[in-house]
Amino acid sequence: MRPVCRFPGAKVTRMCGIIGYVGPRAAQEVVVSGLRRMEYRGYDSAGVAVVVDGVIEYRKKAGKITNLDAEIVANPMPEATIGIGHTRWATHGGPTDYNAHPHVSDNGRIALIHNGIIENFAGLRAELQAGGVSFRSETDSEVAAQLLGREVAQGTDLADALRAVVNRLKGAFTLVAMDAQEPERLVAARRNSPLVVGVGEGENFVASDVAAFIEFTRNAIELGQDQLVDVTPTSITVTDFAGNPAESHPFEVTWDLSAAEKSGYDWFMRKEIYEQPQAVADTLLGRFNEDGSLKLDELHIPEAELRSIDKIIIVACGTAYYAGMVAKYAIEHWTRIACEVEIASEFRYRDPIITRTTLVVTLSQSGETADTLMAIRHAREQHAKVIAICNTNGATIPRESDAVIYTHAGPEIGVASTKGFLTQVAACYLLGLYLAQVREAKYGDEIAAIMAELASTPPLIQRVLDGLEPIKQLAAKYINQQSVLFLGRHVGYPVALEGALKLKEIAYLHAEGFPAGELKHGPIALVDEGIPVFVVVPPQGRDQLHDKVISNIQEVRARGAFTIVLAEEDDEEVTPYADVIFRLPKVSTLMQPLVATVPLQMFACELASLKGYDVDQPRNLAKSVTVE
């Protein structure tokens, strides 16, 4: 995630939520409930439009959906069987009522919603204005509504008209539109922005996310890049931008509505923290044979190609990047292939060395992160093979990769990623072990033993969750804390970084993660009286770094730090140096991130909640970032 820039003209956007419905139900209700299910994407205005008796009726309001609800109560909308709705995150033009979507064309024919950025909007706007069109907003999106309005007014068929419009647009867009004169037809198009079709019986949906229509149907179709869909209650026709029939990919959504709701938890984030044992178990499910060997059926890359790989580059952003840092230790250890980890937004700008024998592995929960997507495109242009590890079926990143390993974590709604991280680590481990198996870098019984340990982690994660009360109590002590440090070594280092990121993003406090051995080279100057320092201690005895980390704890404690130590169950060596000790189940070093990250996630969740912050939708952040 990245901070949002709200200045008009800025090229930074969040992922808007889009829904369209056509069918016998009350369209406005279906649309608004769909918008609510997409709230987690982040937005600052919302709107809905319907067609009744040849007229477009719309309501739109700045602020949360409750403002839109109030507007609809004050000015009720007529019953309709077709409707579109949108949650907007402001880019071109501030978050006002008039900049909210849907946009209605000057001639009243078209209502349109848009996700993305139309880069050449200024020229198109000037052209339309010169032709007498008056604009009612400052948005880039309105040009698409006006262009489409002009096309249909000339008698062009609605789908052909949209085709003509998209062929004039530059940038990223999902567009959904309806015509006041065709009350049973929606048209939609996508380029570089997500769009899925929900297939019902006598009704159909289009949306940026299956969550928007899961209440009504689990059957969906993912649209490809540069495709257009023409939807009525009983038909769905997919074409490319030239009008040729195009192949679409039907799939079944495997999670239900209750999975997308809070199930009694105060925050989605807390619910998702508690879902981690299941999420990791589901990610591992069906991926190994009875003899302990691995099967990754979805990896349609010939084994000969996997054997020829001489370098791996893991590319990701934020929390996913830290999961990649963890994975590097395991992958290098198991496969003996050199593995680099790179922040996606930096990747292609440094001219990385990529050859046909480089394997690029991308990690993305949403599957829509633009920085990661651009890195994939760059890697594939250089003929590297790309494997995506992703949690979102039908998303752009898996579609544009050579192969995908899905993390079956279920929907992650809280903006701060939690089960995304653990399942990304688990999926990377599957990939690492699979490569070791294919390349015979490890004996079968060694792989089976590691797999068995990996498969044993879900109940251990559950044990950590069952013992989180002391962490929650600790959070209460730090409501007014300004700064917190996190230390770790080896895989404990990315865990420390992840603990710090969680605190920054939801509790808004300064937090830093360091490799514990690096402290003496500078960061130890930050340590003063009473500062809380979390330390992830590697497993005792079996790990050479254990004693070194204990020395690091003594160093910070001698300078006044309050040490909060995460150490395994019977590690008594560390006890004298810990002000607070949180016990972790006994696991090997490489498995430790799967248990040690959990208390740090909960500490941040609890602290942010006690401070009265919106844990699920922290300020300046949203769930997916679809432009660079």
State the catalytic residues: 16, 623
State the residue number with the nearest CB to ligand F6R. Answer: 318
- Residue with Cβ nearer ligand F6R (141 or 369): 369
Going by C-alpha positions, the residue among 549, 546, 545, 514 that lies closest to residue 531 is: 514
Torsion angles phi and psi, residue 106, rounded to 5 = -50, -40
DSSP states along 424-484 = HHHHHHHHHHHHHHHTTSS-HHHHHHHHHHHHTHHHHHHHHHHT-HHHHHHHHHTTT--EE
Q: Examine residue 345 and tell whether it contacts ligand F6R (CB under 6 A).
A: no
In the complex, the smallest distance separating the C-beta of residue 4 from ligand F6R, rounded to whole angstroms, is 13
- Residue with Cβ nearer ligand F6R (364 or 462): 364
Sheet holding 204-207, edge to edge: 55-62, 45-52, 82-88, 17-22, 204-207, 196-199, 219-222, 249-252
For CA atoms 78, 83, 88, 91, give the dihedral sign: negative
Buried b (16+ CB within 10 A) or exposed e, 568-597: beebeebeebbebbbbbbbbebbbbbbbbb
- Residue with Cβ nearer ligand F6R (420 or 515): 420
In the complex, the smallest distance separating the C-beta of residue 523 from ligand F6R, rounded to whole angstroms, is 22
In the complex, the smallest distance separating the C-beta of residue 548 from ligand F6R, rounded to whole angstroms, is 29
Q: Examine residue 320 and tell whether it contacts ligand F6R (CB under 6 A).
A: yes
Alpha-carbon span 165 to 173, nearest angstrom: 12
- Residue with Cβ nearer ligand F6R (370 or 556): 370
Three-point CA angle 277, 620, 70, nearest 5°:
95
Q: Which letter does DSSP use for residue 625 in this model?
A: -
Q: Which stretch binds ligand F6R (CB under 6 A): 122-130, 230-238, 313-321, 588-596?
A: 313-321
- Residue with Cβ nearer ligand F6R (193 or 624): 624
Binder of ligand F6R out of 365, 462, 552, 563 (CB under 6 A): 365
User: Is 17 in contact with 86 (CB distance < 8 Å)?
Assistant: yes
- Residue with Cβ nearer ligand F6R (196 or 553): 196
Q: Which stretch binds ligand F6R (CB under 6 A): 28-36, 137-145, 190-198, 412-420?
A: 412-420
- Between residue 598 and residue 627, which ones bind ligand F6R under the rule CB under 6 A? 624-625
Question: Pairing mode, if any, of strands 227-231 and 186-191?
Answer: antiparallel
In the complex, the smallest distance separating the C-beta of residue 489 from ligand F6R, rounded to whole angstroms, is 22
In the complex, the smallest distance separating the C-beta of residue 515 from ligand F6R, rounded to whole angstroms, is 20
Q: Examine residue 133 and tell whether it contacts ligand F6R (CB under 6 A).
A: no
Binder of ligand F6R out of 313, 416, 464, 566 (CB under 6 A): 416
Site string for ligand F6R, 146-185 (x = CB under 6 A): ----------------------------------------
Q: Examine residue 1 and tell whether it contacts ligand F6R (CB under 6 A).
A: yes
- Residue with Cβ nearer ligand F6R (208 or 540): 208
Binder of ligand F6R out of 345, 372, 462, 617 (CB under 6 A): 372
Q: Examine residue 364 and tell whether it contacts ligand F6R (CB under 6 A).
A: yes
Which residues neighbour 525 within 8 Å (Cβ) at sequence distance 6 or greater? none
Q: Which stretch binds ligand F6R (CB under 6 A): 115-123, 168-176, 285-293, 318-326?
A: 318-326
Q: Examine residue 318 and tell whether it contacts ligand F6R (CB under 6 A).
A: yes
Give the 3-state secondary structure of residue 92. coil
- Residue with Cβ nearer ligand F6R (227 or 366): 366
Q: Which stretch binds ligand F6R (CB under 6 A): 194-202, 326-334, 413-421, 591-599?
A: 413-421
Alpha-carbon span 408 to 418, nearest angstrom: 13
User: Is 402 in contact with 392 (CB distance < 8 Å)?
Assistant: no
First-to-last CA distance in the chain?
11
In the complex, the smallest distance separating the C-beta of residue 506 from ligand F6R, rounded to whole angstroms, is 8
In the complex, the smallest distance separating the C-beta of residue 390 from ligand F6R, rounded to whole angstroms, is 8
Torsion angles phi and psi, residue 120, rounded to 5 = -100, 30
Q: Which residue type does 90 have?
A: A
- Residue with Cβ nearer ligand F6R (276 or 369): 369
- Between residue 387 and residue 406, which ones bind ligand F6R under the rule CB under 6 A? none
Alpha-carbon span 205 to 33, nearest angstrom: 13
In the complex, the smallest distance separating the C-beta of residue 226 from ligand F6R, rounded to whole angstroms, is 22
The whole-angstrom distance between residue 506's C-alpha and the CA centroid of its chain comes to: 16
User: How far is CA 408 from each of CA 153, 196, 220, 281, 575, rounded to the nearest angstrom?
Assistant: 47, 19, 18, 9, 38
Q: Which stretch binds ligand F6R (CB under 6 A): 276-284, 301-309, 364-372, 598-606?
A: 364-372
In the complex, the smallest distance separating the C-beta of residue 493 from ligand F6R, rounded to whole angstroms, is 17
Binding site for ligand F6R (CB under 6 A): 1, 317-320, 364-366, 369, 372, 416-417, 420, 501, 505, 624-625
